[in-house]
C-alpha cells in the first residue's frame, strides 16, 4: 500500500498513473463516493505491491534504506541507479514489500437496543478477517454478580467464519454509566465475585468466548488493591477453565496519576496478572471537551512509554479510535456535545464545504474548519491513512502485542487495508 495526499489539481487518473495503479482499484480501496471530486489534503491508500518513496532534501540511499530495512546497495540495485549517484529531490524510488510482523488485533462492537443493526452486522462481516478478537460490548454485571448480556445476533458465527475469537467484555456499567458503587461491590464482596466468576465461565462455555476482558472504570481509587486481588482470583479461576484474561486501562502517564478514572488502575499489577491489557489511548478530544485530536500520537506515546516501564511490550494492545468529532464553535464547557463521525463522513463534509484538509504534524492527525449554512463555525478532527500509519509504525518500533479498536460501525476502509499491509494478523486457532 502507498499513502498519497491529494494536492491541488490531482485526479484519480494522474494519481493512478504516478503509481502504476488503476483508477478503479483506488476508488474501490478508498470507497470513494465522489472520485472525480477529491479533497485537497485527503489521504488515499494506493493498492500496489510495495510502495514508492519520494526523495526529500538531505536524503541519501543509506538514510532511506535505514527507514525500510534495506542497504544502500540493495536500494540502488532495485531502482537501477548507481550507489554513489546524486539523488534529485522528488525522485521516485521503489521500495519492495517488507516482511510483516505478527500482530494481535481486537475490535469492540457495541450493539444497542433489542436487535443488532444491519450496519453493525455488515461491519463485523467486513472486519473479522483482520481481527484476532471480536469483543461485543458489553456484558454488564448486576449487583448480585449475575450478568446481563448484550444482543449478540450471529456474531459468534460471523467470527467463526473468519477464525476470529470472541472476547467476553465485562463492565460495571449501570443505567448507561460506569458505576463507582457497583464497581466497589464487585471488587470487595466475595459472594458477588463468586457468582460473577461462575456466570462468566458459564457464558464463555455456552457462547464460545476465548478471552475474558474486564473493563471496570470509575472505581474508587481506594479500591486499587481490592481490584488487583479480584483480578488475581479471576485469573486463577479462568486459567483453570482454559480461558485467557485481559483488562482495559485508563491512559496513565505515571503510577501516581490521580483522578476518578485513573487511581484504581494499577499498570504494574495488571501487567503481572493479565495475559494482556488494552490501553485506552483515545479521547483526548472527546464529545464534551474542546476540539482536539482524539488520539494525538505525542500523548499516546507518553502513555505507552509509562506502560513499558512496568510491563512487557508483548502484553500491550494499543487502543485506537475509528472515529472523529465535529465540534460546533465556540466551545462552551457544559454545552452541546461534538458529533461523532466516521473518517469517511469527515472527508464528505470537507468536500461539501469546499475546504482543504490540514494535518497537524505534532499530533499526527488531520483536521479542518468550516462554516455551515447557518453561519456556525465548526472544527473537525478525525483519523486518516497517515494518522493510523503513524500508530502502526509505533507498534512496530516498540514491539507491542498489537492494537484494539473502539469501535466498529463507522466506516474507515483505509485502516483495514493498511493493517493488512503492515502486519500478519494472529489467529488463536
47-103 pLDDT tens trace: 998 889 999 999 999 999 998 889 999 999 999 999 887 899 999 999 998 889 999
Q: Average pLDDT over the chain, rounded to whole?
A: 96
pLDDT value at 135 more than 90: yes
Tens-place pLDDT, residues 16-48: 999 999 999 999 999 999 999 999 999 999 999
Architecture of domain 51-96 in this structure: Roll (3.10)
> Domain 1-46, CATH 3.10.350.10 — does that match?
yes
List active site positions: 217
Q: Is the peptide bond before 167 cis (omega within 30 degrees of 0)?
A: no
| Residue matched to cell numbers 471480536 | 134
pLDDT number for residue 33: 94
Strand 402-406, strand 316-321: pairing: parallel
| H helix or E strand, kind and range, residue 104 | strand 102-109
Find the mean pLDDT for residues 267-274.
98
Distance CA 217, CA 173 (A): 8
Each domain of the chain, given as residue ranges in start order, spans 1-46, 51-96, 102-425
CATH topology identical between 51-96 and 102-425: no
pLDDT value at 181 more than 90: yes
Tens-place pLDDT, residues 355-409: 999 999 999 999 999 999 999 999 999 999 999 999 999 999 999 999 999 999 9
Distance CA 15, CA 411 (A): 23
| H helix or E strand, kind and range, residue 381 | strand 377-381
Residue 274 pLDDT level (bands cut at 50, 70, 90): very high
Class of CATH domain 102-425: alpha beta
Distance CA 87, CA 280 (A): 43
Amino acid at each position: 500500500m502507498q499513502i498519497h495526499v491529494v494536492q491541488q489539481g490531482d485526479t484519480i487518473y494522474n494519481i493512478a498513473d504516478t503509481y502504476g495503479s488503476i483508477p478503479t482499484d483506488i476508488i474501490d480501496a478508498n470507497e470513494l463516493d465522489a472520485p472525480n471530486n477529491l479533497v485537497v489534503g485527503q489521504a488515499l491508500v494506493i493498492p500496489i505491491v510495495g510502495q514508492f518513496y519520494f526523495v526529500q532534501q538531505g536524503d541519501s540511499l543509506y538514510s532511506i534504506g535505514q527507514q525500510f530495512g534495506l542497504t544502500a546497495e540493495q536500494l540502488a540495485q532495485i531502482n537501477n541507479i548507481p550507489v554513489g549517484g546524486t539523488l534529485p529531490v522528488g525522485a521516485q524510488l521503489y521500495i519492495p514489500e517488507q516482511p510483516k510482523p505478527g500482530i494481535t488485533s481486537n475490535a469492540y462492537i457495541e450493539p444497542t437496543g433489542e436487535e443488532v443493526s444491519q450496519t453493525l452486522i455488515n461491519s463485523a462481516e467486513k472486519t473479522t478477517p483482520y481481527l484476532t478478537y471480536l469483543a461485543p460490548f458489553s456484558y454488564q454485571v448486576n449487583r448480585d454478580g449475575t450478568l446481563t448480556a448484550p444482543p449478540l445476533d450471529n456474531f459468534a458465527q460471523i467470527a467463526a467464519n473468519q477464525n476470529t475469537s470472541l472476547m467476553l467484555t465485562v463492565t460495571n456499567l449501570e443505567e448507561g454509566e460506569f458505576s463507582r458503587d457497583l464497581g466497589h461491590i464487585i471488587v470487595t464482596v466475595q459472594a458477588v465475585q463468586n457468582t460473577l466468576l461462575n456466570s462468566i465461565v458459564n457464558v464463555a462455555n455456552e457462547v464460545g468466548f476465548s478471552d475474558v476482558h474486564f473493563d471496570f472504570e470509575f472505581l474508587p481509587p481506594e479500591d486499587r488493591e481490592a481490584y488487583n486481588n479480584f483480578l488475581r482470583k479471576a485469573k486463577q479461576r479462568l486459567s483453570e477453565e482454559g480461558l485467557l484474561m485481559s483488562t482495559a486501562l485508563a491512559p496513565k502517564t505515571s503510577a501516581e496519576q490521580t483522578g476518578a478514572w485513573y487511581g484504581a488502575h494499577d499498570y504494574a499489577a495488571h501487567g503481572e496478572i493479565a495475559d494482556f491489557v488494552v490501553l485506552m489511548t483515545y479521547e483526548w478530544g472527546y464529545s464534551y471537551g474542546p476540539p482536539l485530536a482524539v488520539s494525538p500520537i505525542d500523548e499516546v506515546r507518553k502513555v505507552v512509554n509509562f506502560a513499558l516501564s512496568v510491563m512487557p511490550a508483548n502484553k500491550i494492545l494499543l487502543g485506537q479510535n475509528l472515529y472523529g468529532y465535529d465540534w460546533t464553535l465556540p466551545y462552551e464547557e457544559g454545552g452541546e456535545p461534538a458529533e461523532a463521525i466516521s473518517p469517511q463522513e469527515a472527508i464528505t463534509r470537507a468536500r461539501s464545504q469546499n475546504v482543504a484538509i490540514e494535518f497537524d504534524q505534532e499530533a499526527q492527525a488531520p483536521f479542518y474548519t468550516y462554516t455551515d449554512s447557518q453561519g456556525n463555525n465548526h472544527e473537525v478532527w478525525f483519523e486518516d491513512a497517515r494518522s493510523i500509519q503513524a500508530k502502526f509504525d509505533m507498534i512496530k518500533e516498540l514491539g507491542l502485542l498489537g492494537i484494539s479498536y473502539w469501535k466498529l460501525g463507522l466506516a474507515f476502509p483505509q485502516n483495514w487495508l493498511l493493517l493488512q499491509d503492515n502486519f500478519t494478523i494472529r489467529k488463536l486457532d
